[in-house]
Amino acid sequence: MFHVRPGAAPWINGHAGELPLKLEATYKQVAGPPPPDFGPYKLRVESDLRNLIDSECSEKDLQAFLEKHPCLIPGAWTPGTKSGHYPLHQAVITQPSLNGAECKRPDFMWLSTHSGAWYAALVEIERPSKHIFNQDGTPSSQFCQARNQLAEWRTWFNDPTNVSLFVEDYGVPDTWRRMRQQDLHLILIFGRRREFEGNPRLSRHRGSLLTGPNEELMSFDRLEANASLCDAITVRLAGKGQYRVLHVPETFALTPHRAEDLLPIEGWEGAIDANPAIADKRKEFLKQRIAYWKHWAENDNNRFFDGRSSRE
């Protein structure tokens, strides 16, 4: 696969004595009805999220809302310094199964990577009205139960046989497995900021409640729409390395660089049609272009991208 930085000339030199070899993109981009700007979308979904968590909603209602807006879900990038790699298929996996595990499923999972490791980012959400602390400042039983979920997932991944099953089930790319180590990123979204804000003792105590490597404790107040995930979708595992898309947000767009990500995912037409916020003409354009890009990715071995590629 050839990549050229934006603005660079789309050719490379041949061997000595040969003329320069010119590389040309074999795809054609089409201007269609554009997606909406992310700014107004961000304001709306963050306002809707605040109203939802303020209403003391159920965990089920919150799960359904986040599935529709994956840009709100943390964990898409590697822990610590943000990686330059997008998450696998630019997709969050809802309620992923861990083959043979007897513990509760994670609510969401991203698969991310950097040059040294690849990560399964497992995200657990709880009902927003739950409290981290009891009246005496000790961790509540509800929090301890949620924290134990993270420990059970870590125990499952500590078994190399389970990791091998996971790699096969979720289609972790060969390049990730051969060149990088596997690691975990565990995120617990629990409680509201008002429980500990203004209380230095509880704030300090909260900071020591999750001490495992790459573990994060977040309040629901920290959730915000990430513009870098404007093209993220929500999927469910459908088979060995295969997925079915459940939700396509109205900000979603296509690029040549992401064409290969479309191949293991089915159900596009139904998910696009199910979103009333996508205009009818935009729906038809997306469905046509997804078919085009999947065909191109399946049949064209010249994956040369020039510097003029844009979102469709």
Output the average pLDDT for the chain.
90
Check pLDDT > 80 for residue 303: no
| Euclidean distance between CA atoms 77 and 185, whole angstroms | 10
Report strand pairing: 2-3 vs 11-12. unpaired
Alpha helices in the chain (DSSP H): 38-54, 59-68, 141-157, 160-170, 174-179, 200-206, 268-273, 280-299
| Tens digit of each residue's pLDDT (9 = 90 or more) over 171-229 | 999 999 888 999 999 999 999 999 998 898 999 999 899 888 899 999 999 999 999 99
| Tens digit of each residue's pLDDT (9 = 90 or more) over 99-124 | 988 889 999 999 999 988 999 999 99
| Euclidean distance between CA atoms 153 and 187, whole angstroms | 11
Check residue 80 and give its pLDDT. Answer: 80
* DSSP-based three-state secondary structure for 305: strand
Query: What own/partner pairs with CB < 8 Å and gap ≥ 24 does 127-130 have?
Result: 127/56, 127/57, 127/58, 127/59, 127/62, 128/53, 128/56, 128/57, 128/62, 128/191, 128/192, 128/220, 129/56, 130/190, 130/191
- The pTM score is 0.90
- Cβ distance 234 to 70 under 8 Å? yes
| Euclidean distance between CA atoms 96 and 285, whole angstroms | 31
Percent of the chain's residues with pLDDT above 70: 90
Check pLDDT > 70 for residue 161: yes
Give all domains of the chain, ordered by start, each with its CATH number. Answer: 38-227 (3.40.91)
| Euclidean distance between CA atoms 221 and 191, whole angstroms | 9
Percent of the chain's residues with pLDDT above 90: 76
Check pLDDT > 80 for residue 19: no
Count CB neighbours of 245 within 10 A. Answer: 23
Number of H helices and E strands in the chain, helices first, is 8, 12
Q: In the chain, what is the straight-line distance between the N-terminal and C-terminal CA atoms, in Å?
A: 21
